[in-house]
């Protein structure tokens, strides 16, 4: 299941770990499906939905956890780090399943969101009551199971108990921070806060720490070198995480639905208070800003309105400003990799991850 | 913080541990509130809601965990078992907060449910969008934080890492089983299943294993004696758990709202597929059963209809049958305590817990 050490230089930093992570997740799900079905055969559709959510995704958190380990001198062909890293995918599955319920999102990666999938099961069988309500309830529970299994898989990864305990501070911080960040995100949306500071704080907790910094810290801690590398990984992870999220936000406005799986303008329809929005409102004239603010968060936003908003984002200089932030932060992340404390094996892959996260088109 | 060993015989088996558990939860919340507020001061109302949910409740799971430990020879004045036992209250807080979202319950223990509390915060501030939706989203996230903190508190209880690992199988099983049991419960409600078998299965996972058997197993495992006591605690916990839930179900139909905090007939309005319902439908004539089935789950059920349904439950013999099951199962639980493997210190408290759980009026 573990990736071979030699493959690190020949393939992308994500694909070196991807199939190993997938394999461990499949193995875990096989034993846990059996346990669930022992409780009740009717749990099969819930398990199907859980596995469907788990089977997609970029494996970003496991990837950063793995390279955090390698950068701390951890061996490339160690199945334990693959399992510990893979456990983060269960946390991510919980976050996504619950996010979709909270945001009432219909789709995820071009497929029906978990709660929509379960609502469809309800409708198909003609069960009593409200299909949407059943779907949401079921999705909350499936997300809860994912959250519990994340920790179960981590604890069963095969590391010595002392090593697992050393990894607990970043592991625990990650869980609290992503939930707290999501709460703040929801709050900023309803408060209509559109300041740069608010947008940056949400990005910091919901994305930068959760997706990059903490997984790197976890990898370093499992290799017994968190003290030495904590600062390096923070200097790399926080700017890269913000740059990564900002790329995501730009794609969420302008992106091609063919590659992102989301229709263009989707984030504008949802009313997300991103830095793109904050920069636009800060730079546009009052009349334009007022109109933009009014349109933002309108669920049935017309194609014309989306086009007008995209034009304002571009013409106001907000897009350019965001691209400049992405470039600057990507540069800061690159600089952090110069630290002599970092194992040379991880330097090039972590560099390539900067490029991949900030230049991607989907 | 730990209860004194001598108090075990003089006070109730719940109160011997209660204040110690409360103290540990308060201490944990103090440090974790500080961490949350560091992320954002606006998280204060979320933390308030979390603590409000945590401050109520009967502390049943910690109590059974503690007596499971004592029955396995664990010392009475050990702060580690108090902290490990208290961590189960965070799991319970998650289960209740999410349950209330799933069931759209407005109240919990006579106070506003967490999602209603957060919805009120939204309305109070006149934030944009739907107050109910905000409240539900916030409650999902607060429940998630509770689930993560349960495991964090368990892992930080102070036991040796090998001991904590020995407790993992019951700890992990408990989390999966309660979520799976809740899923099945939701499913039975929409499918309109009203068989004894279905009702008993939900009680087994959602109540018996979760509230009694697994906490006892956890206590035994932490004392290093799960192998010796697993069977005894199962023989005690499963029948007692079903009897306990059945008492709850009877109270949910007939109970005095002054003592239960729930209006009489509440479970009938919610359409809960309890054994009380299954027994009634199995015993009543066809016309009465049809009418009962039609009324069940009507949110605005009139006082007259509740009265008629209660009369049918009584007249059909269903109530008597349920009381007979409670008595029989309570007897089975009592019998299990005769096992010579059980430490004498726990025998009388565990006996008193049978009486308290099955004869209570609230």
User: Do both B100 and B198 map to the same domain?
Assistant: no
Confidence (pLDDT) at A4: 45
Distance from CA of B289 to the nearest CA of A (A): 18
pLDDT exceeds 90 at position B18: yes
Test A129 with B190 for CB contact under 8 angstroms: yes
pLDDT tens sequence for chain A (362 residues): 444 444 444 568 777 899 999 999 999 999 999 999 999 999 999 999 999 999 988 899 999 999 999 999 999 999 999 999 999 999 999 999 999 999 998 989 889 999 999 999 999 999 988 999 999 999 999 999 999 999 999 999 999 999 999 999 999 999 999 999 999 999 998 998 788 998 999 899 989 999 999 999 999 999 999 999 999 999 999 999 999 999 999 988 987 655 555 667 888 988 888 999 999 999 999 999 999 999 998 889 999 999 999 999 999 999 999 999 999 999 999 999 999 999 999 999 999 999 998 987 66
DSSP state, B12? -
DSSP state, A254? H
pLDDT exceeds 70 at position B320: yes
Q: How far apart are CA B172 and CA B23, in angstroms?
A: 25
Q: How far apart are CA A288 and CA B209, in angstroms?
A: 60
User: Do both B40 and B98 map to the same domain?
Assistant: yes
With respect to residue B24, please indicate whether it lies within any of the assigned structural domains. Answer: yes
Nearest to A180 among B39, B103, B137 (CB): B39
Distance from CA of B138 to the nearest CA of A (A): 6
pLDDT exceeds 50 at position B2: no
Test B176 with A133 for CB contact under 8 angstroms: no
User: Do both B7 and B89 map to the same domain?
Assistant: yes
User: Do both A195 and A102 map to the same domain?
Assistant: no
Residue B219 and residue B247 in contact, taking contact as beta carbons nearer than 8 Å:
no
Residue B132 and residue B119 in contact, taking contact as beta carbons nearer than 8 Å:
yes
Test A147 with B143 for CB contact under 8 angstroms: no
Instruction: Report the alpha-carbon angle B33-B35-B37, nearest 5.
Output: 70
Segment B142-152 mean pLDDT: 98
Q: How far apart are CA B72 and CA A73, in angstroms?
A: 44
With respect to residue B233, please indicate whether it lies within any of the assigned structural domains. Answer: yes
User: Do both B195 and B155 map to the same domain?
Assistant: no
pLDDT exceeds 60 at position B4: no
User: Do both B206 and B152 map to the same domain?
Assistant: no
Residue B169 and residue B221 in contact, taking contact as beta carbons nearer than 8 Å:
yes
Confidence (pLDDT) at B264: 76
* Among A145, A42, A180, residue whose Cα is nearest residue B91: A145
User: Do both A115 and A167 map to the same domain?
Assistant: no
User: Do both B208 and B113 map to the same domain?
Assistant: no
User: Do both B147 and B207 map to the same domain?
Assistant: no
- Please give the C-alpha separations between residue B135 and each of A186, A194, B22, in angstroms, as whole numbers: 10, 21, 27
Q: How far apart are CA B30 and CA B51, in angstroms?
A: 10
Q: Which pTM does this prediction carry?
A: 0.93
Q: For chains A and B, count residue pairs whose Cβ atoms are closer than 8 Å.
A: 165
Residue B238 CB contacts under 8 Å (≥ 6 apart), including other chains: B204, B208, B209, B212, B213
Of A129, A159, A189, the residue at which a domain comes to its end is: A159
Test B176 with A134 for CB contact under 8 angstroms: no
Range of the domain at B358: 191-362
Confidence (pLDDT) at B51: 97
Model confidence at B3, pLDDT cuts 50, 70, 90, reads: very low
ipTM of the shown complex: 0.93
Residue B85 and residue B221 in contact, taking contact as beta carbons nearer than 8 Å:
no
User: Do both B279 and B337 map to the same domain?
Assistant: yes
Give the nearest chain B residue to A197 (CA atoms). Answer: B40
Nearest to A40 among B102, B122, B184 (CB): B184
Of A106, A126, A159, the residue at which a domain comes to its end is: A159
Q: How far apart are CA A237 and CA A233, in angstroms?
A: 6
CB atoms closer than 10 angstroms to residue B111: 13
User: Do both B269 and B199 map to the same domain?
Assistant: yes
With respect to residue B15, please indicate whether it lies within any of the assigned structural domains. Answer: yes
Q: How far apart are CA A316 and CA A198, in angstroms?
A: 20
Confidence (pLDDT) at B6: 42
* Residue A194 vs residue B154, higher pLDDT: B154
Give the nearest chain B residue to A172 (CA atoms). Answer: B152
Q: How far apart are CA B183 and CA B195, in angstroms?
A: 17
Of A144, A159, A174, the residue at which a domain comes to its end is: A159
DSSP state, A4? P
With respect to residue B177, please indicate whether it lies within any of the assigned structural domains. Answer: no
Residue B262 and residue B252 in contact, taking contact as beta carbons nearer than 8 Å:
yes
Confidence (pLDDT) at B271: 85
User: How many structural domains is chain B composed of?
Assistant: 2
Q: How many percent of chain B have pLDDT more than 70?
A: 94
Domain CATH for A21: 1.10.600.10
User: Do both A264 and A344 map to the same domain?
Assistant: yes
């Amino acid at each position: 299941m573990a990736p071979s050490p030699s493959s690190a230089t020949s393939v992308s930093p994500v694909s070196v770990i991807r199939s190993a992570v997938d394999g461990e997740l499949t193995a875990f799900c096989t034993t846990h499906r059996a346990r669930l079905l022992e409780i009740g055969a009717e749990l099969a559709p819930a398990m199907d939905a859980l596995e469907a959510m788990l089977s997609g995704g970029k494996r970003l958190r496991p990837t950063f956890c793995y390279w955090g380990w390698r950068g701390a001198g951890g061996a490339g062909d160690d199945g334990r780090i693959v399992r510990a890293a893979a456990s983060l995918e269960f946390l991510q599955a919980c976050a996504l399943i619950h996010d979709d319920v909270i945001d009432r999102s219909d789709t995820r990666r071009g497929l029906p969101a978990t709660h929509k999938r379960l609502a469809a099961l309800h409708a198909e069988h003609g069960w009593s009551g409200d299909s949407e309500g059943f779907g949401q309830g079921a999705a909350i529970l499936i997300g809860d199971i994912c959250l519990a299994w994340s920790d179960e898989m981590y604890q069963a990864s095969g590391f010595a108990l002392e090593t697992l305990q050393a990894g607990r501070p970043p592991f625990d911080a990650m869980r609290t921070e992503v939930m707290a960040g999501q709460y703040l995100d929801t709050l900023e949306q309803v408060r209509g806060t559109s300041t740069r500071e608010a947008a940056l704080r949400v990005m910091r907790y919901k994305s930068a720490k959760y997706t990059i910094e903490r997984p790197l810290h976890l990898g370093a801690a499992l290799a017994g070198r968190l003290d030495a590398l904590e600062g390096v990984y923070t200097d790399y992870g926080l700017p890269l995480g913000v740059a990564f999220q900002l790329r995501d936000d730009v794609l969420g406005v302008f992106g091609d639905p063919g590659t992102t799986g989301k229709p263009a303008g989707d984030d504008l329809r949802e009313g997300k208070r991103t830095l793109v929005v904050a920069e636009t409102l800060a730079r546009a004239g009052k009349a334009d800003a007022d109109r933009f603010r009014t349109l933002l968060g309108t669920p049935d936003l017309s194609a014309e309105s989306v086009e007008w908003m995209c034009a304002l984002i571009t013409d106001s200089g907000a897009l350019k400003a965001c691209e400049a932030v992405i470039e600057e932060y990507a540069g800061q992340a690159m600089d952090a990799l110069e630290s002599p404390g970092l194992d040379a094996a991880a330097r090039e892959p972590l560099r390539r991850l900067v490029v991949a996260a900030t230049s991607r088109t989907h």
